[in-house]
């Protein structure tokens, strides 16, 4: 039978072995933890490298990483079919671009605001740089109690054409409400104040292209038209002159009756050149 001293020594050795095993297990856990962490860091670096370099020199991949949903519209009858705008991701959304529309009635200076509608401004800059607007007419003016605008940007000059592609909708924000909400749609009209520059559309989603309108008097419209800049003070002077010249009445497409407040301006407004500065 072992003595008390022998039992104490045996217990001590057992405790030492247990402590040694615990230390070893803790060491292994630390090694695995570091190994997993290093592995995750390496994996993250690889993922960042792959994502960063996808499409770096490949136009197809670059297009797939696009920031704006520009769409070709091959069915559109246009005399000026344009390629899609450059489409960086992310699309620039800060800063302004100064554009001057030189017209037969005087210069109209515009300030395009990327923060308000980055995809729209990206497209407009593309069209200006490609001289799309040069030689086109501002085909429509409306001068009624609630709508005072001059519309331009149609290469055919009859309101039916554009650049051969469409741009995504960018609904305006910050416009004052005008009246009670429509009981059917729940949507209130908005006031587009004098000096606003906005993108026209057909009323269908994502149907904007190159036609834009300049507001020369506070106007009430549904808030469905992208506001992408402003008309400078000198440009408003030109618009006022055109508005004072009167309207050649158009025709209501439903009834065929004349529309004395809506038609082509009596003073022809031809954009001889659009330039960016």
How would you class 144 by CB atoms within 10 Å of its CB: exposed for 0-12, middle for 13-18, buried for 19 or more?
Answer: middle
Under 8 Å CB-to-CB from 57, ≥6 apart: which residues?
none
Using a 10 angstrom Cβ sphere, with 0-12 exposed, 13-18 middle and 19 or more buried, the burial of residue 218 is middle
Phi, psi of 106 (to 5 degrees): 125, 165
100 and 42 in a common domain = no
Domains in the chain: how many in total? 2
Two structure tokens written together for 271: 């954009």
Block means of pLDDT (10 residues each) for the chain, 277 residues, are 52 55 52 38 34 35 60 96 97 97 98 98 98 98 98 97 98 93 86 98 96 98 97 97 97 93 98 96
* Domain-located, residue 194: yes
What pLDDT is stored for residue 183 in this prediction? Answer: 81
64 is a domain residue? no
Q: What share of the chain is helix, strand, coil (3-state, %, to 5)?
A: 30, 30, 45
pLDDT of residue 182: 81
75 and 46 together in one domain:
no
Please give the residue range of the domain that contains residue 46.
Answer: 1-53
Q: Is residue 172 part of a domain?
A: yes
pLDDT value for 187:
87
* Residue-level pLDDT at 52: 34
pTM greater than 0.85: no
CA pair distance 214, 195, nearest whole angstrom: 7
pLDDT at 22: 57
- Give me the pLDDT at residue 27, please: 53
What pLDDT, on a 0 to 100 scale, did the predictor assign at position 96? 98
């Amino acid at each position: 039978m072992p003595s008390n001293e022998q039992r104490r020594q045996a217990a001590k050795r057992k405790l030492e072995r247990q402590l040694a095993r615990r230390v070893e297990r803790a060491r292994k856990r630390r090694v695995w933890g570091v190994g997993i962490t290093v592995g995750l860091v390496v994996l993250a670096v690889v993922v960042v490298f792959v994502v960063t370099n996808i499409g770096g020199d490949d136009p197809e991949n670059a297009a797939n990483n696009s920031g704006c949903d520009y769409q070709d519209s091959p069915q559109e009858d246009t005399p000026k079919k344009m390629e899609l705008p450059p489409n960086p991701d992310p699309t620039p959304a800060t800063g302004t671009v100064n554009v001057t529309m030189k017209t037969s009635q005087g210069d109209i200076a515009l300030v395009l605001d990327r923060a308000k509608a980055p995809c729209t401004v990206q497209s407009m800059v593309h069209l200006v740089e490609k001289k799309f607007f040069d030689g086109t007419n501002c085909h429509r003016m409306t001068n009624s109690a609630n709508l005072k605008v001059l519309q331009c940007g149609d290469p055919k000059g009859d309101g039916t054409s554009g650049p051969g592609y469409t741009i995504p909708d960018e609904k305006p924000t910050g416009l004052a409400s005008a009246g009670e909400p429509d009981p059917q749609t729940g949507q209130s009209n908005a006031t587009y104040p004098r000096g606003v520059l906005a993108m026209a559309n057909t009323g269908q989603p994502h149907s904007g292209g190159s036609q834009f309108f300049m507001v020369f008097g506070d106007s009430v419209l549904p808030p469905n038209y992208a506001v992408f800049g402003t008309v400078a003070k000198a440009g408003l002077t030109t618009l006022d002159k055109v508005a004072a010249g009167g309207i050649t009445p158009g025709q209501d497409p439903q009834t065929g009756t004349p529309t004395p407040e809506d038609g082509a301006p009596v003073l022809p407004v031809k954009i001889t050149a659009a330039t960016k500065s």
